[in-house]
Structure 1
Amino acid sequence: MVESLPGDAAVVLAGDQPDPARIAAVRAALGLDRPLAERLAAWAAALAHGDLGASLVSGRPVTGIVLDALAPTAVLAGLTVLFLVPLSVGLGVAAARREGGRLDRALTTVSAALYAVPEFALAIVLVAVFGVALAWLPPTGLGGLTAAALVLPVSVLLVRPVCSTGRLIRSAMIDVLASPYVRHARRLGLNWFAHALPNALAPAVQHLARTVDWLLGGVIVVEAVFVIPGLGSTLADAVGHRDLPVLQGLALLFAATTVLVNLLADVVSFRLAPRA
């Protein structure tokens, strides 16, 4: 996809209004004059030896660039998932146990409304209100990822997943509570909630795995708005500079994360509800 965009790293590095000869010289120095298939084959061969190559722009090893950007993104994503699970379970179960009641209707309406708000719009509103007008929280992460600086970006990343996962758990919990084995457990005076919750969570685990995939895209918006130097910012810079080695390294990391998270979700789902 990057190859199909106009320009390449040579155009970026050649300076303002470069002549064609200058661009051609930079392109040859970077090896961009070789066919794409040849460059990809060389990259794959180097990858087999653990070498992700070097940035076309800075010359730094891609591994170092990715690792430097990984920590801020890992903190954002980790805190989001950490708060996502209890919030989603709590809201979903509370709504299911009072199906059709005021709490259920209120949670359903509010979650549907918040889910429709784009991340960038929500981020701008929160920054304007809590970061600028009230000055309660840092509007950006330029001062470091302190606890206060993380509140707004994590809140933005939480809203849509909590809304969607909470509604999913609500629906699953309603179905489970109506099942024969839960009704039988109630008649016997057993702890029916302990039987119902794992089976209601099983489908939500798969949804949470897809949420992690969504987070990889959500952090790009959040890191841009809050000026956080993470993987999202690195990806945006690499696309802007047509820095193919960095993009390949990031794509590899994102793909590996997606595969591992989905495998883990399959295992957890089976452990929660082996009969499913």
Structure 2
Amino acid sequence: MRDLRSWLVRRLILGCLQIVAVVALVFALTEALPGDAATSLAGDQPDPERIAAIHEAMELDRPALERLADWAAGMLHGDFGTSLASGRPVTTYLSGGFEPTLLLAGLTLALLVPIAVGLGVLAARREGGWADRLVSSVTLGVYAVPEFAFGVLLVTVFALRLDWLPPTAVGYGTDLAGHPAVLVLPVLVLLSRPVCSLSRLVRAGMIDALASPYAAQARRYGVSGVRVRYAHALPNAVVPAAQQLARTVDWLLCGVIVVEALFVIPGLGTVLMDAVAARDVPVVQGLAVVFGLIAVVLNLGADLVAHRLAPRSGVAA
């Protein structure tokens, strides 16, 4: 237990340093953009008065380190700045886009874990058999198809030809939860590749765990096959999949731009595209920081799960 506490403290310190690095990197990359930000934002035929107003709004005349310190201090209080395009707080863009993205991510994750684990366990139980070959072939084939192409295929078949589902979210506003039919095709596209990668990782981990000495020892002691698979082998098989699951959740929460653009869903990905098109630097900066923070937190959680489930952690505890 002491080793776990010391590891957790070290990992939390590293996570805090990573968050600081994310904030500094986002600011540095924005500062390194070619040309003057105010001139770029002023349009193709910039008006000197508009350039001066943008300079004042972005405080570009101040030293970069002062602006970085003020920006970081504001974020500690929940202030990510103000949009140059609309004058609204950046947090309104974040909150408005987060709900649709969170809904899509939550539904996808709720289906992803049981389906991926179930397919991986099924393939591992029938290693070399028809079920294993079928699962491996289908997952490899689906994984090879890009999300955009898979989404276009689903829209063509189920929306345009069969007319079973709406092709996009246009006309439904932000109340996607009240129109579940709109979510079916986007969730299927979001599920396609993560299910394939996670199920293959679980399969490989299950095969290694079932062939391990402790699994053989459990069988010799008369432990049932079901208990060996789910109480002993599966927790160790989940360890290599934990990092992949964290990356998948990060990918989902940070707004899958391709999927949201294809189905016209007003999530974080759409907010980011609109901000880039409008050259709205504060919104882009705020979204980049949020995406970075989500990645750091999720990887911290994945490391904790892997540390607790790995056999070495159990011995150390």
Q: TM-score, normalised by structure 2?
A: 0.79
Matched position secondary structure for 1:117: coil
The question of whether the paired residues in 1 share the 8 Å contact of 2:236 and 2:311 is answered with no
Cα distance per residue 1:10-46 (max 9 Å; x no partner): 655x56x535535534433533653682543432232
**Residue 9 of structure 1: CA displacement?**
6.5
- Partners of 1:97 and 1:223 in 2: CA distance: 37
1:256 aligned partner, one-letter code = L
The question of whether the paired residues in 2 share the 8 Å contact of 1:123 and 1:152 is answered with yes
> Match of 2:181?
148
State which of 179, 185, 192 in structure 1 corresponds to 2:228: 192
- Partners of 1:60 and 1:258 in 2: CA distance: 26
2:281 aligned partner, one-letter code = L
Cα distance per residue 1:160-195 (max 9 Å; x no partner): 110011001111101111111111212222121221
> Match of 1:230?
267
- Partners of 2:250 and 2:272 in 1: CA distance: 15
1:225 aligned partner, one-letter code = L
- Partners of 1:248 and 1:114 in 2: CA distance: 34
The question of whether the paired residues in 2 share the 8 Å contact of 1:182 and 1:192 is answered with yes
Q: Any gaps of 5 or more consecutive residues in structure 2? A: 1-28
State which of 125, 144, 147 in structure 2 corresponds to 1:119: 147
2:188 aligned partner, one-letter code = S
Compared CA separation, residues 265 and 26, structure 1 to 2 (3 A): same
Is structure 2 residue 191 aligned with structure 1 residue 158? yes
State which of 207, 213, 221 in structure 2 corresponds to 1:174: 207
State which of 146, 150, 165 in structure 2 corresponds to 1:137: 165
Is structure 2 residue 287 aligned with structure 1 residue 250? yes
**Residue 239 of structure 1: CA displacement?**
1.3
> Match of 1:18?
45
State which of 29, 34, 38 in structure 1 corresponds to 2:61: 34
The question of whether the paired residues in 2 share the 8 Å contact of 1:9 and 1:243 is answered with no
Matched position secondary structure for 1:57: coil
Compared CA separation, residues 48 and 197, structure 1 to 2 (3 A): closer
State which of 91, 94, 104 in structure 2 corresponds to 1:66: 94
- Partners of 1:74 and 1:243 in 2: CA distance: 23
- Partners of 1:43 and 1:251 in 2: CA distance: 14
Cα distance per residue 1:31-78 (max 9 Å; x no partner): 365368254343223224432111110111111210111100001111
Cα distance per residue 1:118-162 (max 9 Å; x no partner): 111111111121122111111112214121111111111111110
- Partners of 1:87 and 1:19 in 2: CA distance: 54
Aligned residue pair count? 274
**Residue 113 of structure 1: CA displacement?**
1.3
**% identical equivalent positions:** 56
Compared CA separation, residues 195 and 33, structure 1 to 2 (3 A): closer
**Residue 103 of structure 1: CA displacement?**
1.3
- Partners of 2:236 and 2:40 in 1: CA distance: 56
- Partners of 1:105 and 1:7 in 2: CA distance: 57
The question of whether the paired residues in 2 share the 8 Å contact of 1:88 and 1:166 is answered with yes
- Partners of 1:226 and 1:8 in 2: CA distance: 32
Matched position secondary structure for 1:65: helix
> Match of 1:88?
116
Compared CA separation, residues 274 and 175, structure 1 to 2 (3 A): closer
The question of whether the paired residues in 1 share the 8 Å contact of 2:255 and 2:267 is answered with no
Matched position secondary structure for 1:275: helix
Cα RMSD between the aligned structures?
Answer: 2.3
Compared CA separation, residues 189 and 151, structure 1 to 2 (3 A): same
Give the ranges of 4+ consecutive aligned residues of structure 1 lying more than 4 Å apart after TM superposition: 5-12
**Residue 199 of structure 1: CA displacement?**
1.2
Compared CA separation, residues 196 and 33, structure 1 to 2 (3 A): closer
